[in-house]
A and B are shown apart, each in its own frame.
Chain A
Amino acid sequence: GQQVMQIPQYQHVQEGEDFTTYCNSSTTLSNIQWYKQRPGGHPVFLIQLVKSGEVKKQKRLTFQFGEAKKNSSLHITATQTTDVGTYFCAGASGNTGKLIFGQGTTLQVKP
């Protein structure tokens, strides 16, 4: 079945350093979504990418969707302590709306 792999599993950075998490799917995706889960909380939708090669920015966050629509990345510039949490990518294939989540990358930021 479809699998979505995400690396790294954990990342510890000093505040101000950059951070990147990568997501790879075993199949071509119709879209990919990114979520953030704060410690003790629930996942919150960040963004959806649909087009091949698409790049979207939200302040210090940059999201990319690969040309083959099988991989994606999230890059955070100059991390802050408020960025702490687990970032999940989730891929959809077809038009069912059903998402397969990656394992997540847990980000720790040292002040």
Chain B
Amino acid sequence: DGGITQSPKYLFRKEGQNVTLSCEQNLNHDAMYWYRQDPGQGLRLIYYSQIVNDFQKGDIAEGYSVSREKKESFPLTVTSAQKNPTAFYLCASSTLAGGYGYTFGSGTRLTVV
């Protein structure tokens, strides 16, 4: 079965720590995306990548970093510079033209304790 897998499902972080969220897809999609979801604010784009070893900032990239060393993988690191990291993080993938929509992972809920 093709799909997109995010791990972990729940993550707790102490203030001042970096954490990395995993996102893996076996759909052979070229494009991958990271969104942040907060209540009442919809989905906001953090970073996206359309090709291996290349990525672009989205609307709220500050305090986050990504890498795209393999087509299948697009991990997101939430750094200590992100002032309000508690949120639901969604990874998605699509074909380059996006004509068949995004396929989303099941998300990672990050809580800063």
A6, A48, A95, A104: the one within 8 Å of B101 (CB): A48
Task: Tell which of A6, A41, A100, A104 touches B45, judged by Cβ atoms closer than 8 Å.
Answer: A100
Report if A59 contacts B (CB, 8 A).
Answer: no
* Nearest A residue to B31, CB-CB: A97
> Is the pair A99, B98 in contact by a Cβ cutoff of 8 Å?
yes
How many chain-A residues does the 8 Å CB contact rule pick out?
26
A96 at the interface (CB under 8 A from B): yes
Residue among B50, B95, B102, B107 making CB contact with A99, cutoff 8 Å: B102
A42-B104, A45-B103, A98-B48 given; A92·B98 CB < 8 A: yes
Give per-residue flags for A1-45: 1 if the beta carbon is below 8 A from chain B beta carbons, else 0: 100001001000000000000000000000101010000011111
Q: Would you give 24 A-B contacts (Cβ < 8 Å), ordered by A?
A: A1-B59, A6-B42, A31-B99, A33-B98, A35-B101, A41-B106, A43-B90, A45-B100, A45-B102, A45-B103, A48-B99, A90-B102, A92-B98, A97-B95, A97-B96, A97-B97, A97-B98, A98-B98, A99-B98, A99-B102, A101-B42, A101-B43, A101-B44, A103-B41
Chain A interface (Cβ < 8 Å from any Cβ of B): 1, 6, 9, 31, 33, 35, 41-46, 48, 88, 90, 92, 95-104
Which chain B residues have a beta carbon within 8 Å of chain A's beta carbons?
Answer: 31, 33, 35, 40-45, 48, 50, 59, 90, 92, 94-107
